[in-house]
Structure 1
Amino acid sequence: MGFFSMICCVKDLERKKQGEHNSKVRIFTLKELELATNNFNNGNKLGGGEFSSVYWGQLSNGSQIAVRRWEAGRNRSNTTDREFALEIEIMARAHHENLLSLRGFCAQGQERLIVYDYMINHSLESHLFPGRQQQSATCHLDWTRRMSIAIGAAEAIALFYSISYLHNHATAHIIHRDIKANNVLLDVNFKARVADFRSAKFLPDGATHVVTGLKGSVGYVAPEYAMQGKASKCCDVYSFGILLLELVSGKRTADCMIEIWAVRLACERKFDEIADRGLNGNYVEEEMKRVVLVGVACASIEPEKRPTMIEVVEMLKGDKAKLLVLENLICSLWFQNRFDFEKQSFDSS
């Protein structure tokens, strides 16, 4: 679907939804967003990447927003328009309390802007791995909040897998391709909001994977995707497993082979050594064990051994039968393939 066709579809969607479910999706004018962000002042800048920046803003009614602004003019590529249109389509269709909400967008002249709800507690990453000036931030992530974040994010990912999209005249589903701690935002109550669908890819119905260029972040990319370019739902499950292990341990995957470290300790029943020291022992042992086992299973090097996101949700919520099978399988695989795991860990060091 072409860019302008996509925008027309979104406009139609907006019109249909007005008065229906009290939809908040709307089309903003450039002037509104310039006023809200103080003309995209650097002081309002929340972050950004190579091709876009995110700004804090406040609308005339007092509500706070986050605005992603893509590069305008000659520097903007066709990729920008594709990312912009794809993210609008995905977010306009996907509604869940643990998905970041789309407030609206602006496609005026050369400007491409998407407006989201502003998340006052920023990203999960900012609390798990605070900078030197934020050393007290981890105290906000007590165990109750971490467990809520794990289950909420899992439910959101499972939901957007269930949504069908029309792509190239055929039904397809989406894969995120960049699930990581920085793309899980936290609202005022520390409720998780999965965000950033710029790297999302359509997966045709019936297809197990698509071969595509590499997207994602160091430490979160599944082995089969990194080596063979095969992107699938299993790749997202792998990334989510790494995220769970970071959430429970407070360790960065980029700093260690977190899945190898965690599976060894889990099979030795040393779950207390995995727990983030910032928790000071204040966690529910059974729940912590549950998160570790699910995280290790999701981060299996064998895609076919990974659970589905629906199974992940069930196990995080305490499905004892599935967890028992999972624990036995993980330890069996560890002892069968211990040499290969340890060699992989040694080679990466």
Structure 2
Amino acid sequence: MAKPHRPLFTYLAAVGATFLFAVLYVPLTAAEDEPPPWPICGPYPPSGNYTPNSTYQANINLLAASLTKNVSSSPALYATGSVGDVPYIFYGQALCRGDVANASACESCIATAFLGAQQACPLYKDVMIFYDLCQLRFSNRNFLLDDDYTVTTYMLQRSQLVGASAAAAFDAAVGLLVNATADHSVGDSSRRFGTGEEGFNDRRNPKIYALSQCAPDKTADVCRTCLGMIIGQLPESFRGRTGGGIFGVWCNFRYEVYPFFSGRPLLQLPQFVERPPASSPPVTRGGEKTKNRTGKVLAIVMPTIAAILAIAVVCFSCWRRRRPEADAFLPSTSDDIQHIDSLLLDLATLRVATDDFDERKMLGKGGFGMVYKGVLPDSQEIAVKRLGQTSRQGIGELKSELVLVAKLHHKNLVRLVGVCLEEHEKILVYEYMPNRSLDTILFNFEKKKELDWGKRLKIINGIARGLQYLHEDSQLKIVHRDLKASNILLDLDYNPKISDFGLAKIFGGDQSEDVTRRIAGTYGYMAPEYAMRGQYSTKSDVFSFGVLVLEIVTGRRNSGSYNTEQDVDLLNLVST
């Protein structure tokens, strides 16, 4: 049995990274006769070890208690969290398979996983472990901020092989089923889980079964990319094998020739039919005949190709004329264009989703225009931000917001679903937040009773994590410049997500501050140096965050500006 190898690098999401992954990525491998659990000790060397009965050990025990409880109470049977303070802090992730019988079975599996992890990797600070029905990760490094898709994975290879004559058809059938199951997982916005079944014309292997899953808090794009990368290992690592799978931090897949999951398959493919290979043209004897035949073919094909090219040029020109506004709006770099093109939505789709922007679907109104609730054809709920003709938000602000949000991925930042730029419309589509914005609850006498101290602390911590990502951990260093209660959205579990990046600014690598002549934002949340002199930096956002914390704690709205001495705002009341 091959011993596990450590992964060689952390995948950085970028165009063309699939090639790098195929060249450099080395997974951990298990043989057929190795039953679960499948542990990975210290996947990020040097993770270091802790000593028995230390603060580290105590925090792991606390993390085990909280994650085990939280994962069983989550509708998606998924939980993340952290315990302790630096340098003794531990971050954790627990995920149960989508077909697990019930919450109690999930809780039991995660509890077992904590014990199994510490037995298999004693005193390690960074451990992953996979069971049939669940997986667990804990580390002293905040891996929850990573959007590196796979990084560390565990590969399960079944050593049994199909017959040589059926191997090619079997591999094709497996590829078809696994990819279809992955598509089902991507489309499942609540669980990111899918199972599938496919018939195969083989006496020993009449059916093939597959399962795929992503972490439920990952976006559809992240899930698709993650699954695509590991499924890309099928031809090289699983050729002719009757079963196998790859299990990662954010996604996994598995296939077998026997039903290994519970319940009926969510996806049923028809009997696989192998396509016969294309037949070769008959060889013509005689050089003259061949030459004449080639000439006739060219005489037919060349004008046809020329006509197709001409039509393509005309169509492209017409398309360019129809989209002058969109072309002026979209970014010019290839990376940005690739980000945006994948997010384009049809106006007709959004009209259907919002009942043609019916007033009854309206969620709110701002200087930019209206926000409507909608439902896409795949049942995903969305918030549709429609820029009005008289909006104070211009093309520059909307372009800034579009490019930034498309590139940023963090659980405490609002997720951009798509954009529409048809018929003079400028529309941004976001994930729908059931609890709306923070100000609609915090400053409402009745609704703010929903915010107990636990929820308020959860909101404060989430906003802080989102800001830390913008200022320090993202690929871009970003100053938001308009952090306020109405720009904090709350999901069903009151997890906060920072929104509205229309005024955000990108800083260079070593840049610490900048000055603008145009003061934009919301008075009462602006740092004094920004409101008076236009000087802004990450400290400006920290000041706004401080105001937000005061509002969350007191339940009172801050108001006022910095150009009068008679203002009685929240800051003055607190300082006196």
- For Structure 1 versus Structure 2, the TM-score category normalised by the shorter chain is 0.5 to 0.7
Q: 2:358 aligns with which of 41, 48, 63?
A: 41
Q: How much does 1:39 deviate?
A: 1.1
8 Å CA contact 1:32–1:59 kept in 2: the answer is: yes
8 Å CA contact 1:6–1:89 kept in 2: the answer is: no
**Alignment RMSD, CA only?**
2.3
Give the letter aligned to residue 431 of structure 2: D
Aligned to 1:344: none
Aligned to 1:63: 380
8 Å CA contact 1:6–1:85 kept in 2: the answer is: no
- For the pair 1:258 / 2:562, whether they are aligned, the reply is no
Give the letter aligned to residue 465 of structure 2: E
Q: How much does 1:253 deviate?
A: 1.1
Greater percentage in helix: 1
Give the letter aligned to residue 501 of structure 2: F
Task: Count how many residue pairs are aligned between Structure 1 and Structure 2.
Answer: 241
What's the secondary structure of 1:57's corresponding residue? strand
8 Å CA contact 2:369–2:391 kept in 1: the answer is: no
- Residue correspondence of structure 1 range 1-150 to structure 2 within 5 A: 3-6=329-332, 9-13=335-339, 26-72=343-389, 80-130=394-444, 135-150=445-460
Instruction: Note closer, same or farther for the CA distance 1:56–1:206 as it changes in structure 2 (3 Å cut).
Output: same
Q: How much does 1:223 deviate?
A: 0.6
Q: How much does 1:14 deviate?
A: 6.1
TM-score, structure 2 as length reference: 0.40
- CA radius of gyration, larger in: 2
Q: How much does 1:208 deviate?
A: 3.0
Per-residue CA deviations over 1:50-103 (Å, capped at 9, x if unaligned) read 33221111112222100111135xx578x6222222112111121111111111
8 Å CA contact 1:7–1:85 kept in 2: the answer is: no
Give the letter aligned to residue 4 of structure 1: L
Q: 1:222 aligns with which of 519, 527, 533?
A: 527
Give the letter aligned to residue 36 of structure 1: A
Aligned to 1:323: none
Per-residue CA deviations over 1:148-189 (Å, capped at 9, x if unaligned) read 100011000110123344xxxxxxx32111101111111111
The 2-side partners of 1:80 and 1:116 are apart by 19
Instruction: Note closer, same or farther for the CA distance 1:51–1:260 as it changes in structure 2 (3 Å cut).
Output: closer
Instruction: Note closer, same or farther for the CA distance 1:6–1:116 as it changes in structure 2 (3 Å cut).
Output: farther
Q: 1:152 aligns with which of 462, 473, 484?
A: 462
Instruction: Note closer, same or farther for the CA distance 1:7–1:39 as it changes in structure 2 (3 Å cut).
Output: farther
Aligned to 1:180: 484
| Percentage identity across paired residues of the two chains | 34
8 Å CA contact 1:121–1:187 kept in 2: the answer is: yes
RCO comparison, higher one (Cα < 8 Å, 6+): 1
What's the secondary structure of 1:40's corresponding residue? coil
- For the pair 1:205 / 2:506, whether they are aligned, the reply is no
- Residue correspondence of structure 1 range 306-321 to structure 2 within 5 A: none
Q: How much does 1:7 deviate?
A: 8.5
8 Å CA contact 1:124–1:181 kept in 2: the answer is: yes
8 Å CA contact 2:367–2:391 kept in 1: the answer is: no
